[in-house]
Structure 1
Amino acid sequence: MVSSLIAFSCLLAPVDAQEIILVLNKAEDTVSLVDTVKQVEIKRVPTGHGPNEVMVSPGGQWATIANMGNQRADKTITVLRMPGGDVARTIDLGNFARPHGMAFLDESRMVVTTHELDALHIVDVEKGVIEKSIVSPFKGLHMVVLSPDKKMAYGSCVFANKAVAFDLVKGEVAWSVDCGLRAEGISISPDGKTLAVGNMGADTVSIINVASRKVTKTLSGMPQPIRTFFVDGGSRLLVSSAGTGEVVVFETRSWEEKKRIVMEKLPGMTGDDRHPPMNYALSRDGKRVFVVVVSADLVAEIELASLSVVKTHKTGKLPDGIAVWTAER
């Protein structure tokens, strides 16, 4: 009864925070809205089944949640109206089940991948419809990022071990690059010139030159590099080494390893075990990055100047996707 009352009170709590992280609790089919200044969860909202990824629109009006499912597939996107976090609508993708990676094109349209039928879709989140679908010939289309001009999208294909490029203007697959086994995480440098693909099965990260469409560097020494993320204007790359419970930092000019930030003995953790880091989200000022620490049920807030954890934020069970909303746009 007490837990029910707490949950209910969270749903009614007013949202006046200046910075909110939205964290998907995959084991609970919910999303937590956490005030990063006060370090408190201000709201928890039901989602579809198995929420995996979340994105906030450029103007901050919407947050979208890809409900991928677990053993049972889902085929929906939950759309929240921000900053309140109320569900505005649920978009049914029809035959295209297991949505996952997302990226916003503008305030009302985004791209989203679907694992089943392996396609990239342009979705109008206000109208709740698919505008266009581009079918990929490669299996396991997973994460997606956009070029700075929003004319190209780049996806990771976890079963085909490739990165694939989509021409959004022509509505077709443009090219692909072989990466390593289980190419899962993908990120793009702010200038759009470099892709970093985490190969979970190969324990490597493929660095791809977009202009030449070739792998120019392979980073190693990180078991299960599930996510990659460029920070500091592209001068550094963060890699989630799930197998060692570390965020590994590389200088992109030389691709030399700078530091390993260990996910252990942080506030909110119990025991001495290391916990696997996963998804990232950047603060609006670019000075801090939030990383989900899956098995610890928390988010670690890393100060980029010192490359150290300065705060932790509690979440629900099995957190996964994360995004940042700020009052200042």
Structure 2
Amino acid sequence: MTIILMLIFTTSIFAQNLIVLNKSENNAMIFDLRSDKLLAKIPTGEAPHEVAISPDKKFAIITNYGTRENPGNTLTLINLERLTVEKTINLENYRRPHGVAWIDNDKVIITAEANKSIVIVDVKTGETLKSIQTEQDISHMLVLSKDVKKCFVANIASGSVSVIDLKDSKLLTNIPTGKGSEGIDITPDGNEIWVTNRAEDSVAVVDAKNFKVKKKIKVDGFPIRVKISSDGKFAVVSCARAGEIAIIDAKSKTLIKRIKTAEKSDIETSGRLFGSTFGDSPVPIGIAFADKNLVYVANSNADIISIIDIENGKIIKTIKTGKEPDGIAIW
């Protein structure tokens, strides 16, 4: 009996699940990664874009961005133990919520594109606690410093990264990073901020202490997201136009390889964010690491998640999703 209980306990510790946002279906899918079984399909607000898992792994918070015609202004809080909607949080006048991260188990920080701001929200009460202006256009994605004292925000139209002091609630500086700065991540040691510049096909590496760009890496194909492995060895960049992920040695800042994320897409592109802009590309966007070498990639114009071993450069398998998967997370 003791052995059986230990096995169950061990399995529960290492069990991993995947949440996928289908932004053209207004729902979230949750999969058991041990079996790839669909556990639940949960309704969200209109056009859910990004998702983050709480530190205690009990909740997922989703930003409902809205459409071109109808800007969104809500967050969906999902109870990951019950697999149900815990609540919908109305942000009132804060519109087009997009990037999101948890500050602690009670508070999240989001970008509000239409307001050129980041907003801190108490998810338990639904109260907006404060907002801080970036003074930049299309403040899209964000990442927190390791000590959670600063927030770094990628601003697409301004081609910059805003540095915000969360303790004093003020903008410290805006760093010019490149045309179309969109995807953003921080290295495990907290020393570097990596930013994808989709309009100039580059990735900027920013020193997180002096706020200077220390390196630019050429990455063709509309680099749109970047994620860094837990060991700090690799940076993975999704290239929406090329239909590939680029694998970069995070230490030497050199491109190692490029890997196709799916076959050419023949899915109807009408009603999707990028439509036919990228031709028959599967349009890889969202990235999540399962471990230091295994990445999950959302292909928005192929309606699949590709599971890729970045060491051997091979697609291990795919998971069918709803229409236009984008934001994903693993816990």
1:90 aligns with 88
2:212 aligns with 214
2:317 aligns with 311
**Structure 2: stretches of 5+ with no match in the other structure:** 1-13, 268-279
**Which residue type is aligned with residue 70 of structure 1?**
T
CA positional deviation for 1:282: 2.1
Does structure 2 conserve the Cα–Cα contact (< 8 Å) formed by 1:263 and 1:274?
Answer: no
Give the Cα separation in 2 of the matches to 1:287 and 1:183. 26
CA positional deviation for 1:274: 4.3
Give the Cα separation in 2 of the matches to 1:148 and 1:45. 31
Does structure 2 conserve the Cα–Cα contact (< 8 Å) formed by 1:144 and 1:186?
Answer: yes
1:262-311 deviations in whole A, cap 9, x for unaligned?
Answer: 12349xx779x54221111222x544221111111011122344343222
Does structure 1 conserve the Cα–Cα contact (< 8 Å) formed by 2:132 and 2:170?
Answer: yes
> Which of the residues 277, 282, 285 maps onto 2:289?
282
Give the Cα separation in 2 of the matches to 1:64 and 1:232. 22
CA 102–303 in structure 1, closer or farther in 2 if over 3 Å, else same: same
1:62 aligns with 59
Deviates more, 1:244-253 or 1:274-283: 274-283
Give the Cα separation in 2 of the matches to 1:193 and 1:289. 23
1:77-133 deviations in whole A, cap 9, x for unaligned?
Answer: 000111332011111111101100001111111111101111111111111111111
Give the Cα separation in 2 of the matches to 1:251 and 1:210. 19
Give the Cα separation in 1 of the matches to 2:219 and 2:54. 35
Does structure 2 conserve the Cα–Cα contact (< 8 Å) formed by 1:19 and 1:324?
Answer: yes
Count of residues in correspondence between the two structures: 306
Does structure 1 conserve the Cα–Cα contact (< 8 Å) formed by 2:249 and 2:255?
Answer: yes
> Which of the residues 28, 31, 45 maps onto 1:31?
28
CA positional deviation for 1:220: 1.2
Deviates more, 1:125-134 or 1:73-82: 125-134
Give the alignment of 1:73-222 within 5 angstroms.
73-222=71-220
CA positional deviation for 1:223: 1.9
CA positional deviation for 1:232: 4.4
Provide runs of 4+ in structure 1 moved above 3 Å.
304-307
Give the aligned CA root-mean-square deviation in angstroms.
1.9
1:226 equivalenced with 2:232 (yes/no): no
Give the Cα separation in 2 of the matches to 1:165 and 1:27. 32
Classify the secondary structure of the residue corresponding to 2:135. coil
Classify the secondary structure of the residue corresponding to 1:41. strand
Give the alignment of 1:297-308 within 5 angstroms.
297-308=303-314
> Which of the residues 254, 257, 270 maps onto 2:255?
257
Give the Cα separation in 2 of the matches to 1:115 and 1:158. 10
Give the Cα separation in 1 of the matches to 2:81 and 2:292. 20
Give the Cα separation in 2 of the matches to 1:92 and 1:221. 38
**Which residue type is aligned with residue 142 of structure 2?**
V
Percent identity of equivalent pairs: 32
Give the Cα separation in 2 of the matches to 1:264 and 1:59. 33
**Which residue type is aligned with residue 62 of structure 2?**
I
TM-score (norm 2): 0.88
TM-score (norm 1): 0.88
Give the Cα separation in 1 of the matches to 2:296 and 2:237. 13
Give the Cα separation in 2 of the matches to 1:140 and 1:297. 26
CA positional deviation for 1:316: 0.3
Does structure 1 conserve the Cα–Cα contact (< 8 Å) formed by 2:217 and 2:254?
Answer: no
CA 259–232 in structure 1, closer or farther in 2 if over 3 Å, else same: farther
**Structure 1: stretches of 5+ with no match in the other structure:** 1-16
Classify the secondary structure of the residue corresponding to 2:115. coil
CA positional deviation for 1:229: 0.9
Larger RCO (alpha carbons 8 Å, 6+ apart): 1
2:16 aligns with 19
1:4 aligns with none
CA positional deviation for 1:54: 0.7
